[in-house]
Structure 1
Amino acid sequence: MKYLLDSNVFIEAKNRYYSFKIAPGFWNWLEIFTEEQSFLTIREVRNEITENDDELKEWISEFPLNCFIEADREIQDKMREVTNYVTNNRRFSRENKNFFLSRADPWLIATAMTGDYAVVTHEAKAGPGTKKVKIPNISETFNVEYITIFDLMKIQKVSLKI
């Protein structure tokens, strides 16, 4: 299995618990992880991260573009399926549908649908009454596995030692 990282994995790590100065080992592991699976995530996630002019933008910009999966015809076809499902689902509010579809999230799911991928995200599944569109809910609809970065670190047997 290969893993597609959501932008919130990088952003939360940088802003909260694995800042570049406090936990450089986390960022080193992501670099090794990228070499092992030959990519880091999808192009749309890279685009979201580079919207802000900060240390994370500098870090991710050091990776060659071929480390980010670009949507081919198969991914675009799956994206249409995801878009149709979200658009036609009355559970979600129009505002939440538009926001979800304007970001990298549906592209992560569409890409995962094309192969042996899991989406790595910090998003939690939304409850039955919510109008929000969340990666875990849509992933389940399309039988896409999703895990947290901490799950991935356990799978990869990552140990950040001092």
Structure 2
Amino acid sequence: MVEKFLIDSNSFMTPYRQYYAFDLVPTYWEEISKCTSLGRLVLLDIVKAEIDKGEDDLADWVSRQAGFVICNHISPEIIGKYQEVLQYIQMCGLYKEQALQTWANGDVADPWLIAAAAINDYTIITAEVPSGGLSVKNPNRNAKIPDVAKEFGVRTNNLYYMMRQLGIKI
């Protein structure tokens, strides 16, 4: 099966703001654009909405990419898995109440990304890194996608991994 990439908003926002500005490295964005037609790049509808809120060049670029697969997070399967993700955050003992409160906000994409990836066998592309050293003796106040995704058998990786898999060179 061909690997499909579910892209976290930070995997577009961080390069746009810090590494690959449109005016300095347009080739990066052109290469990503070419890959959208492959059907391997997936945006969760709430991630697209988060990017759109920026009302900037990145939002304009994303809107022009007709080849992105847009995944609607409102499906019975994804909602069911989302509830499991939140229940895990609440019950596992590794996180403080603050982590659950943050992730339970319906506008926060992280638990929805994990749920959609689990249901559709996507690899999440994110700039987040695992917390490391999670312990019930010292619960964390922030949940990280790679840590929680691992519990649900969801693969996560970074932007460079995706670029290598798609043969993107700039």
Could you state the TM-score of these two structures normalised by the residue count of structure 2?
Answer: 0.85
Deviation at 1:66, TM superposition (A): 7.3
> Counterpart of 1:117?
122
Cα-to-partner distance string for 1:62-98 (whole Å, 9 max, x where unaligned): 2459731102221111111112111333321222222
Structure 2 equivalent of residue 132 of structure 1: 142
% same residue: 28
1:62 to 52, 61, 64: 64
Partner residue of 1:16? Answer: 18
Q: Is the 8 A contact 1:43 1:69 kept in 2?
A: yes
Cα offsets for 1:75-132 (capped at 9, x unmatched): 1111111121113333212222222333111111101111221000010101224331
Contact in 2 for aligned 1:39/1:69 (Cα 8 Å):
no
Q: Which amino acid aligns with 2:118?
A: M
> In the alignment, is residue 28 of structure 1 matched against residue 38 of structure 2?
no
Within the candidate set 77, 92, 115, 2:80 is matched to 77
Q: CA deviation at 1:19?
A: 0.9
Count of equivalent residues: 160
Instruction: Give unpaired runs (5+ residues) of structure 1.
Output: none
1:68-107 correspondence runs (5 A): 68-71=70-73, 72-102=75-105, 103-107=108-112
Q: CA deviation at 1:16?
A: 0.7
The 2-side partners of 1:139 and 1:87 are apart by 15
| TM-score under structure 1 length normalisation | 0.89
SS of match in other structure, 1:53? coil
Give the CA deviation at 1:59. Answer: 1.6
Moved more, 102-111 or 82-91: 82-91
Q: Tell me which residue corresponds to 1:42.
A: 44
Give 5+ residue unaligned stretches, structure 2: none
TM-aligned CA distance change 1:65 to 1:95, over 3 Å: farther
